[in-house]
Amino acid sequence: MSTTTDFITVPRGLARVVVTDTELGDVRGEEGFFHYRQYSAVELAGQVGVEAAWHLLFHGHLPSDDELATFTAEIGRLRVLPPALADLLPAICATTGDSLQVLRTALSAWGGVAGLRTLYDSGEDERTAAAMAAASVTPTILAAAHRLHHGLEPVPADPTLGHTEDYLRMVSGERPSTRDVRAVEQYLVATMDHGFNASTFTARVIASTGADLAACLVGAIGSFSGPKHGGAPSRALEALDEIGTLDRADAWVRRQVEAGGRIMGFGHAVYRTRDPRSEMLKAIARGWQDPLVDLALGVEDAVEATLAELKPGRELHANVEFYAGVVMKLAGLDPSMFTPTFCVARVVGWTANVLEQSRDPKIIRPAARYVGPPPPQPVPVRAAG
């Protein structure tokens, strides 16, 4: 065991450990509430679009009409793929059918195409410009990858459209309905940022080294791709498909619990009450008269009741992933695009966090407790001469 006496032992997974200060927002799990700066995130999702919420995270205030118009136009311009990157995408897509893997590789290549300098060597304006460009081009890459994987030509970005509308159009090749755009937009706004989740923390750790912005995002996407993080929405919908009918829900949950499996779409690392994002998405889903919504509502009640019986004392409610998959499917997105769509939102939060972290000169460098076989006794090092 180490003889160092000034180490601080913290809970596994850094649960509830404060590692830095942030002005971007907070998650108050005991209250079922989270906010972006001084605004309730869920209320914001019901009132503004992606561009306004993005401006808030980047610049600290909601934009005026003129600021919003300028900001939206800039996002639209930056959403267009650089020709060199567009030429690379078919080759990248030929190596993998996973759109997040494509994005991870494409953003790394984009960093080279864009000539990114390290955060350490860049000023505030240069870092912000890189963050804007990376978050803007992400949905274009993901939409193009989806189409290429299905043998379809990518649809070029239309800078005159709003960010959400253009994303859905680039995925499907058709102009989406107003209802579909607004449903997905509310989801995007409500999932842009969410405290120091695994992928955001990953991005900030890399940013603390002074690496370039593309490196931060590649690391964040790697963390995000795990099924315990961003990979959950499609798995939650798969569970609904597997259950099939409401009368099978109780038995299905019991089998999962007895086998030690996890019920995707239920429970959360932070919330000890209902996930406010899930409640918002449930309300949006009710706007569709669809059997999938009826099934989801019934399964939610059945799963919560069964979990309360099998795991008494634990607050296991539907989280954002449970209804996210329902809303995205009803809005016309293929399940393979659920996690990529989550990524379209979260890249805004990642880049905002990278910008904030880059202002702190301190590298993030924790310690680990050694518990392996005893090492040899150290030999004192004596100065030469």
CATH number at residue 282: 1.10.230.10
Query: Residues 280, 293: one domain?
Result: yes
Residue 8 included in any domain: no
The average confidence (pLDDT) of the chain is 90
Residue 1 pLDDT greater than 50, yes or no: no
Query: Residues 304, 318: one domain?
Result: yes
Looking at residue 236, its pLDDT comes to 75
Residue 70 included in any domain: yes
Residue 24 pLDDT greater than 50, yes or no: yes
Looking at residue 349, its pLDDT comes to 98
Query: Residues 180, 242: one domain?
Result: no
Share of the chain above pLDDT 70, in %: 93
Query: Residues 313, 345: one domain?
Result: no
Spatial separation of the C-alpha atoms in residues 254 and 233, rounded to whole Å: 21
Residue 17 included in any domain: no
Q: Which structural domain range is residue 105 located in? A: 25-226+334-357
Q: What are the angstrom distances between the C-alpha of 211 and each of 208, 262, 275, 342?
A: 8, 36, 34, 25
Q: Map residue 63 onto helix, strand or coil.
A: coil
Residue 379 pLDDT greater than 50, yes or no: yes
Query: Residues 54, 198: one domain?
Result: yes
Query: Residues 152, 236: one domain?
Result: no
Looking at residue 92, its pLDDT comes to 97
Model confidence band, residue 2 (pLDDT cutoffs 50, 70, 90): very low
Give catalytic residues, as residue numbers. Answer: 268, 321
Query: Residues 60, 119: one domain?
Result: yes
The model's pTM is: 0.90
Residue 3 pLDDT greater than 50, yes or no: no
Looking at residue 373, its pLDDT comes to 95
Q: What are the angstrom distances between the C-alpha of 281 and each of 41, 184, 195, 307, 323?
A: 13, 10, 19, 22, 6
| Burial class of 154 by CB neighbour count within 10 A (0 to 12, 13 to 18, 19+) | buried
Could you give the number of structural domains in the chain?
A: 2
Q: For 216-238, how does the pLDDT look when each residue is reduced to its tens digit (9 = 90+)? A: 999 999 999 887 777 656 777 88
Model confidence band, residue 199 (pLDDT cutoffs 50, 70, 90): very high
CA angle 303/26/202 to nearest 5° reads: 85
Model confidence band, residue 102 (pLDDT cutoffs 50, 70, 90): very high
Residue burial 270-305, b: 16+ Cβ < 10 Å; e: rest: bbeebbbbbebbbebbeebeeebbebbbebbebbbe
* Length in residues, the chain: 385
Query: Residues 298, 340: one domain?
Result: no
Residue 376 included in any domain: no
